Amino acid sequence: MTKINKKGENPFQQLVKSRRSIRRYLEKPVEREKILTCIEAARLAPSADNVQPWRFLIIDDPELKSQLAKEVFSGIYYISKFAAKAPVLIMILARLDIIANRIGKQIQNIHFYLIDIGIAGEHIVLQAEELGLGTCWIGWFNSRKARRFLKIPRKYKIVSLMAVGSYEKRPPKEKKRKKLEEIVWFNRMEE
């Protein structure tokens, strides 16, 4: 039986409400066991036609991470430089297959691998939160320089970076979100 707190929330709802994008990290290394626990959560995510397109390059060596940050967070990407302070950066890559990701894109006009990566990435985010780690998705970085610097083969598409690390816990702020009535319909759309 699921335990409900005083606000009527189950543990999963509490986890989702407490999670936020962290931009200030403590100078404390993250144990590889915790990183692998997060990646295991991503590995178990569903994907279109079960192609499991996700691949993860973990950057936890401080010197390498510092050099990478100088490359990918310079110039117009300066706004993402906070991620250089995170103890871990996860490069999220996609290995595209022919059927689900190329033919499916042509027929449905949807990049299924982006949905798959989003699900897997969110599994990382929620698992990290449960382990007491903060995360932040980063889409604003120089992927060309990242590819060159890390020598990533062309068969992998760079999708995102994710900063991971310990952070100072604070009471969660109320998230500004639209009301349910604004985003959901049953059986037909009403404007």
Range from 36-40, 123-127, 137-141, 179-183 carrying the lowest mean pLDDT? 179-183
Q: How far is CA 55 from CA 74, 119, 155, in A?
A: 25, 13, 11
Cβ-contact 131, 37 below 8 angstroms: yes
Amino acid symbol at 156: Y
CA distance 61 to 87: 8
Cβ-contact 130, 19 below 8 angstroms: no
Confirm whether pTM is higher than 0.85.
yes
CA distance 64 to 143: 16
Phi, psi of 58 (to 5 degrees): -90, 125
Q: Name the DSSP class of 28.
A: -
pLDDT of residue 4: 74
DSSP for 68-109 reads HHHHHTSGGGGGGGGGGGSSEEEEEEEE--SIIIIIHHHHH-
Range from 71-75, 113-117, 167-171 carrying the lowest mean pLDDT? 167-171
As separate numbers, helices (DSSP H) first and strands (DSSP E) second, the chain gives 7, 4
Range from 1-5, 41-45, 125-129 carrying the lowest mean pLDDT? 1-5
Q: What average pLDDT does the segment 79-83 reach? A: 96
pLDDT of residue 175: 78
Instruction: Compare 56 and 110 and report the one with higher pLDDT.
Output: 56
Ordered structural domains, the chain, with CATH: 23-166 (3.40.109.10)
Q: Which of 85, 91, 106 is nearest to 141 (CA)?
A: 91
pLDDT of residue 102: 66
CA distance 98 to 56: 20
Range from 48-62, 102-116, 139-153 carrying the lowest mean pLDDT? 102-116
Q: What average pLDDT does the segment 9-38 reach? A: 93
